[in-house]
Amino acid sequence: MKCCHVIDKDDNIFRKMIKQCTEKDFLEMYGIINDAARKYAGKIPADRWHEPYMPEEELRHEIQDGAVFWGYYSPKLVGVMGIQDKGDVALIRHAYVTPKEQGRGIGGELIEKLKNQTEKPILVGTWKATTWAISFYEKHGFEEVDEETKNFLLRKYWSIPERQVATSTVLADSASMKKFSAARRSSSQGQPLRSSAARQLPTRAGISSPDTGGLL
Ligand SMILES: CC(C)(COP(=O)(O)OP(=O)(O)OC[C@H]1O[C@@H](n2cnc3c(N)ncnc32)[C@H](O)[C@@H]1OP(=O)(O)O)[C@@H](O)C(=O)NCCC(=O)NCCS
């Protein structure tokens, strides 16, 4: 747990802290995610935009599925970011800072904290259209992978519809870039990345189907 004191514009001293979110934070997390996600409106493909962007049941599913959310408290929750263990890699999931606090280093502190939670190669997926998020991740040591590697990684580690694969990008921590390109090349030798039968993405108990739902 990281903690220190900060002074606001009215000279109030309070503690800020990064720690794991708990069940009692759920509604605040839900609020922050969906407030911050409004930035996507008009930028991501219109057919992928919906409000709320992440319904409550989707957020619950993500937590049950292993996404561990960390929060930035100052002292109330103002930003969240998840990390999910996927066996040979870890994914950064759902990075959101409440709109009026964006651009003040909160996301940066969260991602640095999460990077220290794992020794595994780290991947993060986002919409191709979210240029601000791509530049945020690049500032924190991530690089965009090439298109074929991106398609391979999204199909391997995420449960998202094909439409979202096409309109998303993946960044990898710089140290692991070569590893991911090599994995994609070896998987494509001799057989297509996905057979037509595999085109049906895993359906997540009423939440995700090949054509709807599924968030990065
Ligand atoms: C992306 C996000 C989590 C970053 O958190 P943050 O606290 O705003 O980021 P920081 O202040 O640590 O870093 C700022 C950098 O992030 C980028 N950035 C992203 N959104 C920004 C915003 N609204 N205002 C300012 N900078 C932003 C810029 O590259 C900026 O660098 P700069 O200050 O040198 O211009 C946050 O802006 C957010 O919630 N955005 C909307 C939702 C989103 O796009 N989430 C990403 C999902 S993959």
Are 56 and 30 spatial neighbours (Cβ–Cβ below 8 Å)? yes
Question: Ligand 1 pocket check: which of 54, 69, 84, 97 to mutate, most ligand atoms within 8 Å of Cβ?
Answer: 97
Q: What is the pLDDT of residues 132-161, one digit of tens each?
A: 999 999 999 999 999 999 999 999 999 999
Is the pLDDT at 209 greater than 90? The verdict is: no
Residue 41 lies in a domain: yes
Q: Does a structural domain hold residue 216?
A: no
Residue 72 Cβ contacting ligand 1 at under 6 Å: no
3 domain-assigned: no
Residue 212 clears pLDDT 70, i.e. is over it: no
Tell me whether residue 27 is in a domain: yes
Which residue's CA is the closest to the ligand 1 atom numbered 19? 132
pLDDT tens string 57-70? 999 999 999 999 99
Give yes or no for residue 103 CB within 6 A of ligand 1: yes
Q: Is residue 4 in a domain?
A: no
Residue 73 in any domain: the answer is yes
Identify whether 213 is part of a domain.
no
Nearest-CA residue for atom 39 of ligand 1: 96
> Which pTM does this prediction carry?
0.87
Region 51-61 average pLDDT: 97
Q: Is residue 159 in some structural domain? A: yes
Q: Is the dihedral of CA 100, 30, 61, 2 positive or negative?
A: positive
Q: Is the CB of 108 under 6 A from ligand 1?
A: yes
CATH number at residue 184: 3.40.630.30
CA distances 173 to 57, 77, 136, 180, 187, Å, are: 30, 27, 13, 10, 21
Task: Report the distance separating Cα 153 and Cα 166, nearest Å.
Answer: 12
Total domains present in the chain: 1
107 Cβ inside 6 Å of ligand 1: yes
Q: Determine the distance separating the centroid of ligand 1 and the alpha carbon of 107, expressed in angstroms.
A: 7
Q: What percent of the chain has pLDDT over 70?
A: 84
Domain range for 104 is: 14-199
Q: Is 36's C-beta closer than 6 angstroms to any atom of ligand 1?
A: yes
97 lines ligand 1 (CB under 6 A): yes
All residues at 6 or more sequence positions from 36 whose CB lies less than 8 Å from its CB, including other chains: 96, 97, 98, 99, 102
